Chains A and B, each alone.
Chain A
Amino acid sequence: MASKSIINVALVGNPNSGKTSVFNRFTGLNHKVGNFPGVTVDKKIGSISINQHLKAKIIDLPGTYSLYPNSLDEKVVLDILMNKKGEFYPDVVVYVADASNLERHFLLLTQIMDLGIPVILAINMIDLALGEGIHCDEQELQKILDIPMFTINGRTGEGIEDIIKHLPNLEEQDHPPVLDTTKQVENLINELKGELGFDNNYHTLLVAHHYNDLSELTTTDRGLVKQLTEKYQFSSIRNQVDETLQRFDKINTFLTKTVNLIPNKKGSTTDKIDKILTHKIYGSLIYVSILLFMFQAIFAWAEYPMDLIDHGVNALNHFLKGVLPDHFLTSLLTDGIITGLGGIIIFIPQITILFGLIAILEEVGYMSRAVMLSDNVMRKFGLNGRSIVSLISGVACAIPAIMSTRTIGNWKERLITIFVTPFISCSARIPVFTVLIAFAVPKTYYLGIFNLQGLVMMGLYILGALAALISAYILKIILKSKETSYLMMEMPIYQVPYWKNVVITVFEKVKIFVFEAGKIIMIVSIILWALASYGPGDEIQLAEKTVIENNKGTKISEQELEDLIAAKKIEVSYAGHFGKMIEPAIKPLGFDWKMGIALITSFAAREVFVSTMATIYSVGSSDDEKTIIEKMRHEKNPETGQPVYTMAVSLSLLIFYVFAMQCMSTLAVVKRETNSWLIPLYQLIYMTGLAYIGSLIVYNIFK
């Protein structure tokens, strides 16, 4: 070990052991978030320098209770700790244990020790344990366990430095196993060891349990293990129960010697808070209030920074177009790249606010209670209590929302959550809703406070949420699954949020959005720019000439002329041709080819609808929504002479935007998370089909 210049340090522990804080203490913002190869499980790795000769890669493994996994996350932990040849196989495990509950936290600890991996024990939150009257004789415990041991505090950073200092002096830990698990299955273990060349008994036993989930085994190996377990009639569950009970027996013999409980009279604060927050009436009311507050916050607080970004991007484009030569590169930079970038960063305020609030609720310990309170309703629709986190996140952006379904262990429930989350109205739909509602709905006030336009906006959100729930219900009936679904969730104690964790979580989510969604929005924006800037043959040049000819001698300003040219150009561009091509298909919904173009460009991100409309209606140079609305109001149908944007058309478009799957980035993320092309394809067909039918009905009712 001394010869290595980079060592792998894996952080392992139960959920709620405070592992995340410890990881953040080790690496700060200096870490990378990604996926473990082949699976969609969050991988967080940070590199730190220990001294001139030694670097450590700190790997944060998902929280798990034992080496008997129940979910994808937990399988990754098992696989990494088992595969000695694997890229992430740790040279040492830093095991984080909650001082208040050592008994339970020691189960996984002793399992890892028995695998023969060197372990450093980090006993966390000792201050809280002391508050509960739990006193631990650390020296005695260290003597019994015979591994390096440190008391740490993930929230203050105390003890972390000691662990880092200890890393260069790692030694092989060569103690007898805590528990000899082989007695009852000696023949099986010996034969497996002989056949596969293993030397560690516990490792071999775990192979007999989990051979289907382990990447270290070849297909032939798996067949062999299967054969042998059948030959010796190995009962996995029976054996797991025995092992767990025996380990706890052993652990209790350690702990009775080292841990003293001096009960104090004051009851636990968490229990007192839980009496109210998980109460069936008060708890539910508080829960709904918190949700309402969150929605309110996203709208109210994000408005100002979003306006600022919008104006900033427009001003920058104006400025660049003014100083740079009139060249296609200028157009690519301003209308393609900068507009695309603007379309990405405009969402950052809402995403930051929503994920900030979610992270605070998570840190405080409330999120698990929200999951508990939602589980019943969610389950009726084939979802899981944990789905609520994704559905709420979907209000900001479906991409991080879909990625947060990873905590749902049951595949069917996870799939349904992924499938329906894009129905939740995301922030990209807001600008579209705002413009269209201005047409469809008069600005009437009821009772002096309820603005009818505001009520319709809320109705659209409810419609999206209903579509999500009803679709989930249909999927629940269609999809068959033998997998049992579990909630079984541990509730952490309530504590004051640790701000560093909140900041880091938000930073990670925004980064995910910018890189995952951003790169696709960027690419699609550039493609759309090309489609809107070029046309077949010389139609574009001809269009420009025609407009100039036609307006010779009229008194329109240069700006107006440019806008007219831009409008004519997009009409004859490839995008315009596409719009006209799909016009027959969307005519029954009341849409014309101009809206067709906007529907197509919306695939980059829905809010592109507004800017596309601006260009088509030759107010491209204006960044004011009112101008666009004014222009749209005066748009007449060339055949009938009636206004194009009637109430029926606007409502029809609104319904279309509520339901349709128009976001390439979401489809790409769904493809990756489900590892299938079919699911995003179904999603696209289903959602867009629903949008079409919905719009058709609404248009014909109001026509």
Chain B
Amino acid sequence: MHQVKTAIDLLIGEIGILKSFSNQIIAPKFLELGCLPGAKITLINVAPFRSTYFFKINKSRFALRKAEAENLILEL
């Protein structure tokens, strides 16, 4: 079992706290959206086939693809 929990491991309605990013190239894109370590991430819904995830990150809402959301490493 992997020890890392990412945003896609959240259950619908569950809240996680962002710890870090696993991909250095995508990190600045998240940062400029105000998605900083310590941010409160709530999973609101998942699109059919678990391809797209709908999160509330702090006060804003974002649609992220699975490959994008996987980069958000959460506090255990």
Q: CA–CA, A484 to B23, complex, Å?
A: 13
List A contacts of B47 (CB < 8 A).
278, 280, 283, 372-373, 375-376
Is the Cβ of B61 less than 8 Å from the Cβ of A241?
Answer: no
Residue from B36, B45, B58 with most neighbouring chain A CB atoms (10 Å): B45
Is the Cβ of A489 less than 8 Å from the Cβ of B34?
Answer: no
Contact with A along B22-60 (1 / 0, CB 8 A): 001101111111101000000011111101101010111
For residue B54, give the distance in angstroms from its CB to the closest CB of chain A: 5
B65 interface contact, C-beta 8 A: yes
List B contacts of A271 (CB < 8 A).
44, 56
Q: Report if A237-B32 is in contact (Cβ < 8 Å); known contacts: A279-B45, A280-B45.
A: no
Contact with B along A308-319 (1 / 0, CB 8 A): 000000000000
For residue B12, give the distance in angstroms from its CB to the closest CB of chain A: 9
Is the Cβ of B52 less than 8 Å from the Cβ of A101?
Answer: no
Q: CA–CA, A490 to B60, complex, Å?
A: 7
Q: CA–CA, A107 to B52, complex, Å?
A: 27
Minimal Cβ-Cβ distance residue in A for B33: A65
Is the Cβ of A66 less than 8 Å from the Cβ of B32?
Answer: yes
Is the Cβ of B44 less than 8 Å from the Cβ of A489?
Answer: no
Within 8 A of B (CB), among A464-493: 484, 486-491, 493
List B contacts of A369 (CB < 8 A).
63
Is the Cβ of B34 less than 8 Å from the Cβ of A280?
Answer: no
A275 interface contact, C-beta 8 A: yes
Is the Cβ of B36 less than 8 Å from the Cβ of A248?
Answer: yes
Kindly identify which residue among B25, B31, B46, B63 contacts A491, using a CB–CB cutoff of 8 Å: B63
List B contacts of A283 (CB < 8 A).
45, 47
Is the Cβ of A488 less than 8 Å from the Cβ of B33?
Answer: yes
List A contacts of B52 (CB < 8 A).
372-373, 375-376, 385, 487
A245 interface contact, C-beta 8 A: yes
Q: Report if A244-B44 is in contact (Cβ < 8 Å); known contacts: A270-B61, A274-B54.
A: no
List B contacts of A68 (CB < 8 A).
28, 32
Please give the number of chain B residues whose Cβ is less than 8 angstroms from any Cβ of chain A in the complex: 30
A444 interface contact, C-beta 8 A: no
Q: Report if A107-B34 is in contact (Cβ < 8 Å); known contacts: A280-B46, A488-B68, A489-B62.
A: yes
Residue from B31, B32, B48, B60 with most neighbouring chain A CB atoms (10 Å): B32
Is the Cβ of B28 less than 8 Å from the Cβ of A240?
Answer: yes
B64 interface contact, C-beta 8 A: yes
Residue from B27, B52, B56 with most neighbouring chain A CB atoms (10 Å): B52
Is the Cβ of A245 less than 8 Å from the Cβ of B44?
Answer: no
List A contacts of B49 (CB < 8 A).
376
List B contacts of A104 (CB < 8 A).
33-34, 58, 60
Interface range, A side: 35 or more
Q: Report if A237-B61 is in contact (Cβ < 8 Å); known contacts: A278-B45, A375-B52.
A: no
- Name the prevailing secondary structure of the A interface residues: helix
Is the Cβ of A486 less than 8 Å from the Cβ of B44?
Answer: no
List B contacts of A486 (CB < 8 A).
29, 65, 68
List A contacts of B60 (CB < 8 A).
101, 104, 490-491
Minimal Cβ-Cβ distance residue in B for A108: B32
Kindly identify which residue among A280, A375, A490 contacts B61, using a CB–CB cutoff of 8 Å: A490
Is the Cβ of A371 less than 8 Å from the Cβ of B34?
Answer: no
Q: CA–CA, A432 to B33, complex, Å?
A: 48
List A contacts of B58 (CB < 8 A).
101, 103-104
Q: Report if A368-B32 is in contact (Cβ < 8 Å); known contacts: A271-B44, A487-B68.
A: no
A559 interface contact, C-beta 8 A: no
List A contacts of B54 (CB < 8 A).
274, 278, 372, 491
A70 interface contact, C-beta 8 A: yes
List B contacts of A274 (CB < 8 A).
44-45, 54, 61
Minimal Cβ-Cβ distance residue in B for A492: B61
Minimal Cβ-Cβ distance residue in A for B51: A376
Q: Report if A376-B48 is in contact (Cβ < 8 Å); known contacts: A65-B33, A241-B31.
A: yes
For residue A414, give the distance in angstroms from its CB to the closest CB of chain B: 17
Is the Cβ of A375 less than 8 Å from the Cβ of B34?
Answer: no
Minimal Cβ-Cβ distance residue in B for A282: B45
Q: CA–CA, A385 to B34, complex, Å?
A: 23
Q: List 18 A-B contacts (CB under 8 A).
A: A101-B34, A104-B58, A132-B59, A244-B28, A275-B44, A275-B45, A279-B45, A281-B48, A283-B47, A372-B54, A375-B52, A376-B51, A376-B52, A385-B63, A487-B52, A488-B30, A488-B33, A490-B62
Interfacial residues, chain A to chain B (CB-CB below 8 A): 65-66, 68, 70, 100-101, 103-104, 107, 132, 237, 240-241, 244-245, 248, 270-271, 274-275, 278-281, 283-284, 368-369, 371-373, 375-376, 379, 385, 484, 486-491, 493
Q: Which 3 A-B pairs have the closest CB atoms?
A: A104-B34, A376-B51, A372-B63
